[in-house]
Amino acid sequence: MDRFLVQRLGFALLLFVALVVVVPILFVLGVIVVEGSMAITWEFLSAMPSDGMKGGGIFPTIVGTFLLMLGTAMASIPVGVGGAIYLAEYARDTWLTRAIRLAIVNLAGIPSVVYGLFGLGLFVLFLQFGTSILAGALTLAIMTIPIIISTTEEALRAVPTEFRTIIASLGGTRWQGIRGVVLPQALPGIITGIILGLLRAAGETAPILFTVAAFYLPRLPHSPFDPTMALPYHLYVISTQVPGMPLRIQHGTALVLLTLVLSMNVTATVIRSYFRRRRQW
């Protein structure tokens, strides 16, 4: 057969495969947006669930997810950014540094449900936080840290070395160089990384299964030691554990979760491309 005909068939096949990858994504988004938007009303977003979750709204799950995000951010940002500063600005190439990198790769690869087990063992039981926002947020934070470290380190390394040399030549200490020039210049990249890390945590269910999540708790939490409902866990519960659940509510919940996560995704992308165009190096 003519080899150029083969090539044309081959290219057509590749195009077909790319469509096989992309079309289902569009389909998932389309279905959830179309079906879900029918459920979205002000009441759905702002009311407590009622009638065994078959009526009312999903307000406490939204609040719960935001509180978890807040706790996760507070715990993971300092550790993640600090760890990245160490790796990018201080660490020399020693076996210890390689061990840190290995630890990061492995933290990033630990299954989310194993994080759940760990959170149960350490925070809920050993430290006696109980199933609480605190225990869940700390579990999610440890899961988020490797993501924040990798993205932040990349952002720090992208800042030209010359800036550090100039600051040193002007009598600045290393920390002055980091705080005065490197961190501000890397900030957009760091923020992007933090958002990407947090959005992973926002959508996770397995780590909060045994650490925070309340099956049905139609009130807002009072303290960090309270359990709470959360969006992803709620979606799991209403789509598998509650017989006769109206499909409309399931789709609505899925849409709210998807909107939250994807809007964070878009924000991160916009920040990244906006500052990449504006920076002076």
Partner 1 sequence: MDKGVIVTNRGGISGRRWTEVPIEATIRVLGFSTIGFVLLIFLFLLREGLPIFYEVPTGNLFGTRWYPTFELFGTLPLLLGSILVTVTAILIALPLGVATAVFVRELAPDWVREILKPMIEVLAGIPSVVLGFFGMHFVAPLIRNIFGAPTGLTVFTGALILAYMALPTIISVAEDALDTVPKSYRDAGLAMGATQWQTIWKVVVPAARSGILMAVMLGMGRAIGETMAVMMVTGNAARLPLTFDSLFRPARTMTATIAAEMGEVAQGSTHYHALFGIGIILFVLTFLINLTAASAIFRKQRRGGLR
Partner 2 sequence: MVDAKIRIRQLSYSYGGAEALREINLDVPANAVTAFFGPSGGGKTTLLRLINRLNDLVEGTRMQGTILLDGENIYAPGVDVPRLRRRVGMVFALPLPLPGTVRENVVCGPRLAGIRDWGRLEEILERSLAQAALWNEVKDRLDDPAVALSGGQQQRLCIARSLALEPEVLLLDEPTSGLDPISTAKVEESLFELKQQYTIVIVPHSVQQAARVADYAAFFLMGDLVEVQEGTRIFTTPQDPRTEDYVTGRFG
* Cβ proximity of 148 and 86 under 8 Å: no
Q: What angle do CA 220, 226, 232 make, to 5 degrees?
A: 70
| 281 lies in the binding site for partner 2 (CB under 8 A) | yes
Name which of residues 132 to 171 contact partner 2 (CB under 8 A): 162-171
Residue 46 touches which of partner 2, partner 1, none (Cβ within 5-8 Å per kind) = none
Name which of residues 102 to 141 contact partner 1 (CB under 8 A): 102-118, 120-122, 125-126
Structure tokens at 34: 């179309």
Distance, in Å, from the CA atom of 69 to the CA atom of 202, rounded to the nearest integer, reads 6
Residue 281 touches which of partner 2, partner 1, none (Cβ within 5-8 Å per kind) = partner 2
- Give the binding range for partner 1 (CB under 8 A) out of 37-45, 48-56, 185-193, 232-240: 232-240
Residue 240 touches which of partner 1, partner 2, none (Cβ within 5-8 Å per kind) = partner 1
The CB-of-106 to partner 1 minimum distance in angstroms stands at 5
| 45 lies in the binding site for partner 1 (CB under 8 A) | no
Q: Among residues 176, 241, 263, 269, which is the contact residue for partner 2, using CB under 8 A?
A: 176
245 burial via Cβ count (<10 Å: 0-12, 13-18, 19+): middle
Q: Among residues 54, 98, 276, 279, which is the contact residue for partner 2, using CB under 8 A?
A: 279
Residues in contact with 276: Cβ distance below 8 Å, sequence separation at least 6, in sequence order: 188
The CB-of-188 to partner 1 minimum distance in angstroms stands at 17
Q: Among residues 199, 212, 214, 249, which is the contact residue for partner 1, using CB under 8 A?
A: 199
Residue with tokens 């063992």: 121
Helices (H), the chain: 3-37, 42-46, 59-85, 95-109, 112-119, 133-158, 161-169, 174-177, 183-203, 206-209, 231-240, 247-278
Cβ proximity to partner 2: between 172 and 246 the closer is 172
Q: Would you give the DSSP letter of residue 143? A: H
Which residues lie near partner 2 (CB under 8 A)? 92, 162-173, 176, 180-181, 184-185, 279-281
